[in-house]
Chain A
């Protein structure tokens, strides 16, 4: 275990270094720079103005100097400075982190619980009406574009029924605090979390059903049946536990992308998450910020992978950390 962790930590450093290198040069391949974007938005520029901007952004330096500076910053756990936003990258990311974690956490949690339950139900009633209905619903949500579901939910629940707010994270105009604020954020959270959750839910439901049906066909289940274990107990104790491995894998992938946020849902619901931040940073060629977000995401991916490996050993004692 300790050896495993130690080796993982060493690998982590190299993986992250590689990611930093690739990200940096890949992003610099994009045509245009931040100064041009800013001048573009201003709709006016003079050569002197462009020069002042480039100097301000450090774009007047050769690329390798910029890269060495970037590495130097990383080595001191400094993600750099977003000149466009006039704030340190770490501060920008931290500002958006709570909203992102809240949305993604709620959505994934909802999807995991509801999806697995539905998948479990469908597998136990395989071939019957319940199974068919669950499968169709899951397929429908999986196939429907997320933004469309979002817009439809807004139309129905905000505009027509007037139950929930159209978007944003709080009712700023109301000056709420304390419990009222928590309730307000929860109200704002419902639609985006459900929209995102429905998509993930479909994945979990289908995965759970498939995995359980596969396990049902295995010898040890037949043995259990033969020795007279009740179907309920077989489903819970023998099948479910063994079917959890692919679920954990998928959950790991999704948790890994948690910092990336969900651009579409965040955009539709004006949710102040990291996805939108990264998306606009790309179009604005705010490379420091984008590199920072990508770097943090990579760290999370690597860490979640290690965690998933550990969970495997808990779920299935036959798996050993090599």
Chain B
């Protein structure tokens, strides 16, 4: 659920997509799409240069302490270092922490910090900064980490480069959130004793990362410059990062195509444009670098609805949806069918041997008949209203796909649209909906991004992205709690297996697709995707290769 790719909502965007399609046709017809003829051979990396990056939408703040929105993290990942970073297999690798140990009972976690690291303002970074950040941010106001860190009872800093977490109960998921945006370390000397939410440094951040904040010109750009004192010798390569705010999708495509933008993460253009751009030799379209997020598209059923409260109806709907076709038609193949709320990229926890809902119209019809909802004279069993997540056309079209699919089995669907504030209020606060599509990021551990969709503890508090279906299952709740404090990895896997089995059987929320986000970047860039949390990490390895000489 974290780090959504929020789009400027509504009609403008839709019209722009149409315009983008027209533009594409026009450009192709004239036949002057820029083409470069260079081979990758004889190219060598060079230092320096300005990298122009698309940032969309404009961030709210540049400090990832209380805001987990995608644009904030994309910028902040370059300014802040984490204790660790994550490789493509989501294993932690050293960053500010050079090494770490988890005690066998899981009740002590020790981090040995890199020495000689300096904040961008020249003050030394030390264990005290980590301790302060944990106690004042990760444990309290951080919207995602609170439950992971709540059993940390004490933080010891025997010296400036050692941090020891003492826990009352184990909390293994901690090791999956320790990068620069997952557990941001803020400079204690600038934040201590201030109102953290309103601290002026939130918008002119001071970190330890490879790039230093220079300027945020609202509505235009955010500028970062190379940190000459970065702890990793020789890095970063680039002199400057320029995050440009380009609100219109067609204009983004044009800027990428023209080369004004060289790096565009997080689905910067519609899928149709991505297909076109991927064919240009100057550009690359890459779906790597999002592994740490593992986004999942799902369908929340309101289990208090008069029809949907019957599990047979929910299962029938599951059987009525051809998820492979949805991935191919609506998501242009940038997705694959999901069979569990725990995405398959979470290899340790994903369970493929679970109740399945293969596409089977006959079975869907049989289940609906069995539930007592016969077709009337017009062939309609009942009518539902569908609310789609208002994050752009892909979600609207998913809704339209569902409408067609359910019509085949006699369920009439009315599609309702609204902006995201209204959507959140309707689904999570007023609970005035029938069924809705949404997506969340699972993260490497189900405890972080998956279980909240089923946990009944916060029902009634109107907390967004928390149990949209209104599902209550005592066993599932118990498993969520047990796995949260289980110190034995094998037992946690067993608990999550049982959890997946229960929630897939009851199917209050139907996993639809595992989404593949994509980045577009210039082919003369190297080192732009180097790790599993790349989009939320830094571009310290990015560099231009010398452009081939024209002949």
The complex places the Cα of A77 from the Cα of B332 at a distance, in Å, of 52
**Residues of the A chain whose Cβ atoms lie less than 8 Å from the Cβ of B550:** none
B258 within 8 A of A: yes
Q: Are B220 and A169 closer than 8 Å at their CB atoms?
A: yes
Interface size of B in residues (CB-CB distance below 8 Å): 84
B203 at the interface (CB under 8 A from A): yes
Q: Which A residues are CB-close (under 8 A) to B420? A: 32, 37, 40-41, 283
A238: interface (CB < 8 Å) = no
Expressed in whole angstroms, the minimum distance between the Cβ of A98 and any Cβ of chain B is: 12
Residues of B near A41 (CB, < 8 A) are 4, 6, 60, 67-70, 420
Asked if B251 contacts A154 (CB within 8 A), the reply is yes
What's the nearest-Cβ distance from chain B to residue A205, in Å? Answer: 25
User: Which of A36, A38, A170, A172 sits near B425, CB closer than 8 Å?
Assistant: A36
B215's closest neighbor in chain A, by CB? A172
Q: How far is the CA of A233 from the CA of B205 in the complex (A)?
A: 66
Kindly state the separation between the CA atoms of A276 and B30 in the bound complex, as whole angstroms. 32
Q: With A41-B6, A86-B198 known to touch, is A165 a contact of B260 (CB < 8 Å)?
A: yes
Q: Which of B61, B200, B251, B452 contacts A269 (CB 8 A)?
A: B251
Q: Is the CB of A36 within 8 A of B251?
A: no
Instruction: Say yes or no: B220 contacts A168, CB within 8 Å.
Output: yes
With both beta carbons as reference points, the residue of chain B lying nearest to A56 in the complex is identified as B197
Asked if B167 is at the interface of the complex by the 8 Å CB criterion, the answer is: no
A80–B147 Cα gap in the complex (Å)?
35
Is A166 touching B12 in the complex (CB atoms < 8 A)?
no
| Cβ contact within 8 Å between A148 and B19 | yes
Residues of B within 8 A of A155 (CB): 23, 26-27, 254
For A169, give the chain B residue with the smallest CB separation.
B220
**A30 contact from B60, B68, B421, Cβ within 8 A:** B421
Q: Which residues of A have CB within 8 Å of B68? A: 41-44
Which of the candidate stretches B185-193, B297-305, B459-467 sits at the interface with the other chain? B459-467
With a cutoff of 8 Å between Cβ atoms, the chain A residues found around residue B19 in the complex are: 147-148, 151
Residue of B nearest to A170 (CB): B220
**Which B residues between 415 and 429 are near A, CB-CB below 8 angstroms?**
418-426, 428-429
Give complex CA distance A46, B466 in Å. 9
Is the C-beta of B221 less than 8 angstroms from some C-beta in chain A?
A: yes
For residue B509, which residues in chain A have a CB less than 8 angstroms away from its CB? none
- Give which listed residue, B10, B22, B197, contacts A148 with CB less than 8 A: B22
Determine if B441 and A43 form an interchain contact, defined as CB atoms under 8 angstroms apart. Answer: yes
Are A152 and B26 neighbours in the complex by a CB distance under 8 Å?
yes
Chain B binder among A107-115, A156-164, A302-310: A156-164
Complex interface residues of chain A between 262 and 276 (CB less than 8 A to chain B): 263-264, 267-270, 272-273, 276
Check B218–A92 contact: CB distance below 8 A.
yes
* Nearest CB in chain A to that of B221: its residue: A172
Alpha-carbon distance A91/B277, docked complex (angstroms): 39
Distance A285 CA – B221 CA, assembled complex (angstroms)? 23
Asked if A45 is at the interface (CB within 8 A of a chain B CB), the reply is: yes
Give the docked Cα–Cα distance between A285 and B223 (Å).
Answer: 27
**Residue A167, interface by CB 8 Å:** yes
B173 interface residue (CB < 8 Å to A): no
Contact B50 A159 (CB under 8 A): no
Determine whether A84 belongs to the interface, using a CB cutoff of 8 Å to chain B: yes
Asked if A124 lies at the interface with its beta carbon under 8 angstroms from chain B, I say no
Q: Which residue of A lies closest to B59 (CB)?
A: A41
Chain A residues 50-95 with CB under 8 Å of chain B are 50, 52-53, 56, 84-87, 92, 95
B58 at the interface (CB under 8 A from A): yes
Chain B positions within 8 Å of A160 at CB level: 27, 30, 32
Q: Which of B344-377 contact A (CB under 8 A)?
A: none
CB–CB B12/A263 < 8 A: yes
Is B382 interfacial (CB 8 A cutoff)?
Answer: no
Interface: B479 (CB within 8 A): no
The interface bits of chain B over 131-160 (1 if a CB of A lies within 8 angstroms of the residue's CB, else 0) are: 000000000111110110000000000000
Q: Among A39, A162, A268, which residue has the most Cβ atoms of chain B within 10 A?
A: A39
Choose from A151, A159, A270 the contact partner of B245 (Cβ within 8 Å).
Answer: A270
> Does B463 contact A173, Cβ atoms closer than 8 Å?
no
Bound form: Cα–Cα A166–B422 in Å: 33
In the complex, the chain A residue whose C-beta lies closest to that of B260 is A166
Q: Which of B3, B247, B458 is most buried by chain A, counting CB atoms within 10 A of its CB? A: B247
Bound: A53/B6 CA distance, A: 19
For A267, list chain B residues within 8 Å (CB): 8, 12, 16, 247-248
8 Å CB interface, B215-270 against A: 217-221, 223, 240, 242, 244-248, 250-251, 254-255, 257-258, 260
Task: Report chain A residues within 8 Å CB of B466.
Answer: 45
Whether B2 pairs with A42 at a CB distance below 8 angstroms is yes
A170 to B429, CA, bound (A): 43
Knowing A49-B141, A92-B218, say if A159 contacts B8 (CB, 8 Å). Answer: no
Q: Is the CB of A172 within 8 A of B223?
A: yes
| Pairwise interchain contact B60-A277, C-beta atoms closer than 8 A | no
| A56-B198, A159-B257 as given contacts; A42 in contact with B425, CB under 8 Å | no
Given known pairs A148-B19, A151-B250, the reply for A50 and B463 (CB within 8 Å) is yes
**Interface: A280 (CB within 8 A):** yes
Q: Is the CB of A268 within 8 A of B424?
A: no
Does B52 interact with chain A (Cβ within 8 Å)?
Answer: yes
CB-CB contacts of A11-46 with B at 8 A, as 1s and 0s? Answer: 000000000000000000011110011111111111
Is B37 an interface residue, CB under 8 A from the partner? no
Q: What chain B residues lie within 8 Å of A158 (beta carbons)?
A: 254, 258
User: In chain A, residues 111-141, which have Cβ atoms closer than 8 Å to a Cβ of chain B?
Assistant: none
Are the C-beta atoms of A36 and B429 separated by less than 8 Å? yes
B115 contacts A by Cβ under 8 Å:
no
Q: Which residue of A lies closest to B466 (CB)?
A: A45
Q: Does B110 contact A (CB under 8 A)?
A: no
Contacts of B147 in A (CB 8 A): 46
Q: Which residues of A contact B79 (CB under 8 A)?
A: none
Q: How far is the CB of A48 from chain B (nearest CB, A)?
A: 7
- The answer, yes or no, to whether B478 is at the interface (CB within 8 Å) is no
CA distance A275 to B220 in the complex (A): 14
Q: Is the pair A46, B458 in contact by a Cβ cutoff of 8 Å?
A: yes
Q: Which residues of B contact A99 (CB under 8 A)?
A: 219
C-alpha gap A260/B2 in the complex (Å): 33
Contacts of A85 in B (CB 8 A): 60, 218
Cβ A40 vs Cβ B258 within 8 A? no
Counting chain A CB atoms within 10 Å of each CB, which of B60, B144, B245, B257 scores highest?
Answer: B60
Task: Name, among B16, B23, B251, B452, the residue most crowded by chain A CB atoms within 10 Å (CB to CB).
Answer: B251
Q: Does A47 interact with chain B (Cβ within 8 Å)?
A: yes
Bound CA span A32–B2, Å: 19
- B66 lies within 8 A of chain A by Cβ: yes
| Cβ contacts under 8 Å, B6 to chain A | 40-41
Nearest-neighbor residue (CB-CB) of A271 within chain B: B219
Q: Looking at the complex, which one of B4, B197, B425, B465 makes contact with A31 (CB distance below 8 Å)?
A: B425
Contacts from A to B (Cβ < 8 Å): 30-33, 36-50, 52-53, 56, 84-87, 92, 95-96, 99, 145, 147-148, 151-152, 154-155, 158-160, 162, 165-170, 172-173, 263-264, 267-270, 272-273, 276-277, 279-280, 283-285
6 tightest A-B contacts by CB?
A32-B421, A272-B219, A41-B69, A42-B68, A43-B1, A32-B425
Given contacts A86-B200, A272-B219, 18 further A-B contacts (CB under 8 A): A31-B425, A32-B421, A36-B464, A40-B421, A41-B70, A46-B458, A48-B141, A50-B462, A84-B60, A151-B254, A152-B23, A166-B254, A267-B247, A268-B248, A268-B251, A273-B219, A283-B10, A283-B420
16 contacts between A and B (CB under 8 A): A32-B423, A32-B429, A40-B465, A47-B463, A85-B60, A85-B218, A86-B61, A145-B15, A147-B12, A151-B19, A151-B22, A168-B221, A263-B12, A268-B251, A280-B8, A284-B421
